Structure 1
Amino acid sequence: MANPTILSVDDDPAVSRAVARDLRRQYGDRYRIVRALSGGDALDALREIKLRGDRLALMLADYRMPHMNGIEFLEAAMDLFPLARRVLLTAYSDTEAAIDAINVVDLDHYLLKPWSPPEQHLYPVIDGLLELWHATPDPGETEIRVVGHRWSAPSFAVRDFLTRNLVPYRWLLSDEPEGQRLLAAAGLSAADVPLVVTPEGKPLVSPTERELAAQAGLSTVPASDFYDLAVVGGGPAGLGAAVYGASEGLRTILVEERATGGQAGQSSRIENYLGFPDGVSGSQLTDRARRQALKFGAEILSAQRVVALEAAGAGRVLHLGPDSSIAAHTVVLATGVSYRRLAATGLDEFAGAGVFYGSAVTEAPSCSGEDVYIVGGANSAGQAAVHFSRYARRVHVLVRQGDLARSMSSYLIDQINGIGTIEIHPWTEVSGGVGDGHLQQLTLRDSRSGAERTVAASWLFVFIGAEPHTQWLEGVVTRDERGFVVTGPDLVAGGDRPAGWRLPRDPYHLESSVPGVFAAGDVRSSSVKRVASAVGEGAMAVSLVHRYLEAQ
């Protein structure tokens, strides 16, 4: 197979030669370096590469080019090579445009010219992007096909699981010719969706998440029965604990029920995370953290639900079901929170069929040209509004309070105010919904006057509340009145140590009422609900794990 291609396009011949020279010097032995002097010439080159069946790893495009600027070129190039990494070359005065391009073409990076020395400013960026490209499977090589109905909740569940686990697949509607052919070949009808066809041609009808995980190459069975550290939950806090635990030599396993990343993994763009001035999507951040944990030797167990925690002598046992369990010296609880269900008449029956909890980025292209309604006024709702504005005719943000300033970051409010297709509806609640097989109408209520109105709506995305799923810890670990895990000083606020606490010391800062069991991130009572703080608590929990183990 031919070496993959790196393409650069710049209308300044001197700059074009300099880019190609620096790229050949570092990557010429492993990649084919191609340069073009205009966006049109570059697209012609891409079409030729596509026809030959070659691979494109990365594109670098100058922003200021006549006839077709760099953003326009990258947007057109995405149709030919959607997996290729995208870099915009800019002058300092074009920084604003480069930041805007992040949302337009899902830009991976922008580089300020000049980048001398390349060893410091160019090669580290390219190295990281090429590593990401190699880690992303090509759907043409490992393609899972999913046949389903647009408004089928089980079909959505399959697509959502694959998307959140970064598994490439092709979505086919059951009433389209190719979807019908696959159903007929499997001896099924449109009523039998979802149908999943593996790359080997094996049909799976309404598969479980564990079956999907196995087909996607995710680990579902623990390799051992005892570990130094078991992490429950694969959000930022859990991934942080897994990375630091494994990198410091602890035998570490992370158990995740659905997909690594948690709520943060569904964010279309996180722009206030330290070290990512250009912003980073939740899926990109999750993918990097997951690969980092695996690199250090952590074991990641997917599609497994922890149903009980048991303190057994010096060990802590996690029960994964009636016949499966793992034990560890220590446990970090990092199960995060989930969005609260909307208490509105008639909406429960449309979950996954027009009503979605979280960003459901799998549905964004399907919203093209239609109105989308978003409930919530915090950052997750704002990020979703910006993302859906790329597809929807209009995005309606329903806010129970008078404005967004109380719960949303100012940078996000500024972005929303600059997008003409996003409309904020203050003092507005959803009181009901109706439809035939899927959501078709919403009833909206003014939270001050109580006046109601009905709107046509097929898409509702909910981002309200934060509920920890900690019922499985009932009677084992102390929780507050809302179900969050109480830790450290809060356990001894009244002067007494937790019932059953037999150690001569007070609980460590992130330690629960069970010695050796720690909580990190959103599931912890009184925690700061931010991605950065969750990662920090995951790392801090590991330092306390070491202190606990050293004292045993």
Structure 2
Amino acid sequence: MANPVILSVDDDPAVSRAVARDLRRRYGDRYRVVRASSGPEALEALREIKLRGEQVALLLADYRMPEMTGIEFLEAAMDLFPVARRVLLTAYADTGAAIDAINLVDLDHYLLKPWHPPEEKLYPVVDSLLETWSTSPDAGTTEIRVVGHRWSAESFAIRDFLARNLVPYRWLLVDDPEAGRLLAAAGVSADDVPLVVTADGKALVAPTEAELAGLVGLTVTPAADFYDLVVVGGGPAGLGAAVYGASEGLRTVLVERQATGGQAGQSSRIENYLGFPDGVSGAQLTDRARRQALKFGAELLSTREVIGLTEAGSARLLRFSDGQTLAAHSVVLATGVAYRMLDAPGLADFTGRGVFYGSAASEAPSCIGEDVYIVGGANSAGQAAVYFSRYARRVHLLIRGADLTTSMSRYLIDQLDRVEQVTVHPYTEVVGGAGGEHLQQLTLRDSRTGAQRDVDASWLFVFIGAAPRTGWLDGTLVRDERGFVITGPDLVSGGRRPPGWSLPRDPYHLESSVPGVFAAGDVRAESVKRVASAVGEGAMAVSLVHRYLETQ
């Protein structure tokens, strides 16, 4: 297998030679360094690399180039090598323009020229990006192919699972010639899809998420029966708890029912998270947190649904949906929330076939040249609107109120104002949907006048409200009327501790009504629904776990 490629493109010959020289000096023994003098030339080189079945680990492009800017090149290169890390080279005078253009391409970093000495200004950045890439190698060697029908909810579920778990794959419609060959080789017909085929030829028809997880190398079985800490839920709060628990010496396992990252992991770009002035995609943030947790020794279990929690002396026992159990000294509940279903006649039948809950970023390339409708007025809806505007002809943001100021961050409102393809529709509700094989029409209502109108629509993405994933805790923990877990001082009323509380002290700040069981992030009653606060609560929960364990 040939060494992976690092490609740099710059129209200035002196700069181009300097980039290649510095890269070869440090990485030439492990990577093949290729340089180009223009965007079109670089794209042609990438096409040849793709045809040879080689991998591209890193792309570095100058911002100002004739014919094609660095941003335009990186955006085009994403179609050929979507997993390759992307860096923009820019002069100081162009920094502002480069930052403004970051939302057009999922940029990993930008470097100011010159970067001397490279040991301080270049290599640390490249080292980090290559390490990130090495944990999710390009689809050229580990390519998974998914064959299915365009408007199949089952096919969408598989693609969404792979995308959210950062697994590269290639999507083939059943009428594609290559799909026909794969179906014939697997001995199945087009009626039997979805079909998943690995690089080594192993084929699975309509696999479950657990089967899919095993197929792509995700861990589904715990290495032990007993842990110091079990974290339930892999969103920002859960990942934060896993990182801090494992780094502080606790034997830690994180259990996730579908994919790490939670709702934040589906976000196209988070721009108000501390330490990322240029923004970071939810997938990037999730990937870094996962690798960090694994580095410290935490176990991450996928496709394991927890359905029960009981006390067993000093241990806390968790029961999985398959009947297996897992015990620990302490538990952090970080199950987050789910978007509420849109209660409008006719829509339920189209879930996964035109109606999607959350961003469903895997569907964006299919929206090219079409109208996309988004329901919701909070940050998640705004981020999705910006993201889909890169593909759709027009994005319609439907909100119930007069404007976005009461529910969306100011920076995101300003950003939407600058995107011509996005139209905000105030006082607008979806009251119906219709179609055949997939969603084809929406009925919208003006909440002020009651007037209704029908619009042609094949794409509806819903971001409304938040329902906590706590039904499985019914009768076990004290929750509020909406299902959020009540913790700490809120459990103590009139000097009386919660029913069944067995300790002589009051519950710690994030502790639930069961000693040793803590809640962090969106699932906790009265929590601040932001990524930064969720991570902070995950870390705080671990410090309280230590305090709890010291008294046992």
CA distance in 2, matches of 1:157, 1:53: 28
- Counterpart of 1:102 in structure 2 is 102
Could you give the per-residue CA deviations for residues 418-460 of structure 1, whole angstroms, max 9, x where no partner exists? 1111110000000010111211110000111111111011110
- Counterpart of 1:546 in structure 2 is 546
- Counterpart of 2:431 in structure 1 is 431
Shift of the 143–80 alpha-carbon distance from structure 1 to 2, 3 Å rule, reads closer
| 8 A contact 1:487–1:510 mirrored in 2 | yes
CA distance in 2, matches of 1:356, 1:401: 22
- Counterpart of 1:141 in structure 2 is 141
- Counterpart of 1:181 in structure 2 is 181
- Counterpart of 1:210 in structure 2 is 210
Segment drifting more, 49-58 vs 388-397 = 49-58
| 8 A contact 1:102–1:108 mirrored in 2 | no
Deviation at 1:121, TM superposition (A): 2.3
Deviation at 1:103, TM superposition (A): 2.4
| 8 A contact 1:90–1:111 mirrored in 2 | yes
> Is 1:276 aligned to 2:276, yes or no?
yes
CA distance in 2, matches of 1:306, 1:525: 20
Q: SS of the residue aligned with 1:279?
A: coil
Segment drifting more, 51-60 vs 437-446 = 51-60
Deviation at 1:287, TM superposition (A): 1.0
Instruction: Name the amino acid aligned to 1:186.
Output: A
Instruction: Name the amino acid aligned to 1:395.
Output: V
- Counterpart of 2:335 in structure 1 is 335
| 8 A contact 2:50–2:140 mirrored in 1 | no
CA distance in 2, matches of 1:323, 1:118: 55
- Counterpart of 1:261 in structure 2 is 261
CA distance in 2, matches of 1:268, 1:209: 23
Instruction: Name the amino acid aligned to 2:182.
Output: L
Shift of the 174–48 alpha-carbon distance from structure 1 to 2, 3 Å rule, reads closer
- Counterpart of 1:361 in structure 2 is 361
Instruction: State the superposition RMSD in angstroms.
Output: 1.7
Shift of the 8–140 alpha-carbon distance from structure 1 to 2, 3 Å rule, reads closer
> Is 1:442 aligned to 2:447, yes or no?
no
Task: Please list, as runs of the form range in 1=range in 2, the aligned pairs for 1:63-462 lying within 5 A after superposition.
Answer: 63-321=63-321, 323-462=323-462
| 8 A contact 2:84–2:138 mirrored in 1 | no
Shift of the 51–150 alpha-carbon distance from structure 1 to 2, 3 Å rule, reads closer
Shift of the 322–68 alpha-carbon distance from structure 1 to 2, 3 Å rule, reads closer
CA distance in 1, matches of 2:42, 2:203: 41
Deviation at 1:57, TM superposition (A): 2.1
| 8 A contact 1:401–1:427 mirrored in 2 | yes
Q: SS of the residue aligned with 2:142?
A: coil
Deviation at 1:524, TM superposition (A): 0.3
Could you give the per-residue CA deviations for residues 159-210 of structure 1, whole angstroms, max 9, x where no partner exists? 1111111112221112333323333443433332222223332332221111
Could you give the per-residue CA deviations for residues 43-94 of structure 1, whole angstroms, max 9, x where no partner exists? 4544554555543322222212233322233234334433322211112221
Q: SS of the residue aligned with 1:130?
A: helix
Instruction: Name the amino acid aligned to 2:132.
Output: L
Q: SS of the residue aligned with 2:228?
A: strand
CA distance in 2, matches of 1:43, 1:482: 53
Equivalent pairs, count: 552
Q: SS of the residue aligned with 2:467?
A: coil
| 8 A contact 1:444–1:453 mirrored in 2 | yes
CA distance in 2, matches of 1:503, 1:221: 33
Task: Please list, as runs of the form range in 1=range in 2, the aligned pairs for 1:524-539 lying within 5 A after superposition.
Answer: 524-539=524-539
- Counterpart of 2:465 in structure 1 is 465
Q: SS of the residue aligned with 1:140?
A: helix
Could you give the per-residue CA deviations for residues 87-115 of structure 1, whole angstroms, max 9, x where no partner exists? 11112221232123322232211112232
State the TM-score, normalizing by the size of structure 2. 0.96
Segment drifting more, 254-263 vs 274-283 = 274-283
Segment drifting more, 133-142 vs 419-428 = 133-142
Segment drifting more, 450-459 vs 1-10 = 1-10
CA distance in 2, matches of 1:47, 1:280: 28
CA distance in 2, matches of 1:395, 1:67: 29
CA distance in 1, matches of 2:46, 2:451: 56
CA distance in 2, matches of 1:147, 1:46: 25
Segment drifting more, 20-29 vs 486-495 = 20-29
| 8 A contact 1:101–1:107 mirrored in 2 | no
Could you give the per-residue CA deviations for residues 104-158 of structure 1, whole angstroms, max 9, x where no partner exists? 2322111122323333322211111111121112222222221111111111111
| 8 A contact 1:236–1:262 mirrored in 2 | yes
CA distance in 1, matches of 2:113, 2:185: 55
- Counterpart of 1:508 in structure 2 is 508
- Counterpart of 1:60 in structure 2 is 60
- Seq. identity, %: 77
